[in-house]
Amino acid sequence: MTQEAKPGEVFLIDKPYGWTSFQAVKKVKWMRMAKKCGHAGTLDPLATGLLVICTERSTKKINDIQAAEKEYVAEITLGATTPSYDMETEVDQHFPTEHITKALIEETLHQFRGTIMQRPPLFSAIKVDGKRAYTLARGGVEHELAERPVIIHEIEIVQFEAPLLTLRFVCGKGTYIRSLAFDIGKALNSGGYLSGLRRTRIGEYKVSDAIAPESVQNLREQGNLSK
């Protein structure tokens, strides 16, 4: 039996691969019988990890949570690109990787730390003339998104075994990790696309404290972070 939602609950969900953020919100809303429910930062269906979901009065916290820095672990496949910068679309170009070493990667990553200008992916939710950019891209409509400043606080090499490069990022609001994958590949005189992504932290909230969407009903017994 579902329990009536208490005012101001904040749920930490470990979003599964293939789920949309909306699906996770809908699950929490139904299980907690909440009238108001929303998430603090979208995760793409192909990404996993921390999704902060707020119900009732806690939805007032969403903007503040969204503004907090975020941490991701990203797997980048070097030597190829895709139109969507991730695995939503097929590889469209191949590039050499024989020249790429860990030392070259370390040197290249310096230019991506701090405040940088980033062009969002064409397959993104940004609106262009009232339509989502991904809708235009999937329909073959040509369009271009303007560069915007984003802040990259930290980048760390977790593992490199060509052609796979795993990086840990700590970044500010509005950063597209897919664009970083593409741009880093290009800066290495090769190509790159995002082949795996996991969000591990948003501000004070950590994925280690999160649970699966199906477990929301039993959060009281599992020690949820309600505020």
CATH of the domain at 52: 3.30.2350.10
Structure token pair of residue 152: 């990259």
> Can you give the residue range of the structural domain that contains 41?
10-67+203-222
d(CA 90, CA 121): 15
DSSP 171: E
Among 14-18, 46-50, 93-97, 118-122, the least confident range: 118-122
Tell me: do 60 and 163 sit in the same domain: no
Residue 224: per-residue pLDDT: 45
Tell me: do 48 and 99 sit in the same domain: no
Q: Does 1 map to a domain? A: no
Q: Does 227 map to a domain? A: no
Q: How many domains does the chain have?
A: 2
3-class state of residue 114 by DSSP: strand
User: Taking all residues of the chain, what is their mean pLDDT, rounded to a whole number?
Assistant: 87
For 48-66, what is the mean pLDDT?
94
d(CA 169, CA 155): 5
Tell me: do 32 and 139 sit in the same domain: no
Tell me: do 15 and 97 sit in the same domain: no
**What's the sign of the alpha-carbon dihedral 15, 19, 22, 26?**
negative
Q: Does 5 map to a domain? A: no
Answer whether 66's CB lies under 8 Å from 164's CB. no
Q: Which residue has the higher pLDDT, 40 or 138?
A: 40
Tell me: do 134 and 116 sit in the same domain: yes
Tell me: do 154 and 177 sit in the same domain: yes
Tokens 């990553």 sit on residue = 109
Among 54-58, 73-77, 98-102, the least confident range: 54-58
Q: Is the confidence at residue 3, as pLDDT, over 60? A: no
Tell me: do 27 and 89 sit in the same domain: no
By annotation, the residues acting in catalysis are 44
Q: Which residue has the higher pLDDT, 227 or 217?
A: 217
Tell me: do 118 and 155 sit in the same domain: yes
Residue 119: per-residue pLDDT: 85
Tell me: do 61 and 156 sit in the same domain: no
Tokens 């405040």 sit on residue = 115
Tell me: do 112 and 195 sit in the same domain: yes
Give pTM, 2 decimals.
0.87
Tell me: do 143 and 95 sit in the same domain: yes
Torsions phi, psi for 133 (to 5 deg) = -60, -40
CA 159 to chain centre: 19
Tell me: do 104 and 179 sit in the same domain: yes
Tell me: the pLDDT tens digits for 186-209?
999 999 999 999 999 999 999 999
Q: Which residue has the higher pLDDT, 224 or 131?
A: 131
Confidence of residue 139 (pLDDT cuts 50, 70, 90): low
Q: Does 3 map to a domain? A: no
Q: Which residues contact 162 (CB under 8 A, 6 or more apart)?
A: 78, 79, 97, 100
Confidence of residue 221 (pLDDT cuts 50, 70, 90): very low
Residue 37: per-residue pLDDT: 92
